[in-house]
Amino acid sequence: MEPQISGLTLSVIAMGIVFVVLYALALLINLLRILVGPKEDRKTGQAPAIAAEPEADFDSLTEIKGFSPQVVAAITGAVAAYMGQGTTGLRISALRRVESQGTWANAGRVENTSKLRSLQTRR
Tell me, yes or no, whether 103 lies in a domain: no
What pLDDT sits at residue 31?
A: 93
Tell me, yes or no, whether 12 lies in a domain: yes
Q: Residue 59: pLDDT above 70?
A: no
Tell me, yes or no, whether 104 lies in a domain: no
Tell me, yes or no, whether 49 lies in a domain: no
pTM, whole model, 2 decimals?
A: 0.33
Tell me, yes or no, whether 13 lies in a domain: yes
Tell me, yes or no, whether 43 lies in a domain: no
Domain that holds residue 14: 1-34
**Cα–Cα distance measured from residue 70 to residue 35, given in angstroms and rounded to the nearest whole number:** 46
What pLDDT sits at residue 27?
A: 97
What are 46's strand-pairing partners?
A: 41
**Over residues 46-59, mean pLDDT:** 53
Count the domains in the chain. 2
Torsion, CA 35, CA 41, CA 43, CA 45, rounded to 10: -80
Residues 6+ apart with CB under 8 A from 79: 90, 92
**Over residues 63-82, mean pLDDT:** 78
**For the chain, percent of residues with pLDDT exceeding 90:** 19
Tell me, yes or no, whether 46 lies in a domain: no
> CA of 48: how far to CAs of 23, 35, 41, 51, in Å?
33, 17, 6, 10
Tell me, yes or no, whether 106 lies in a domain: no
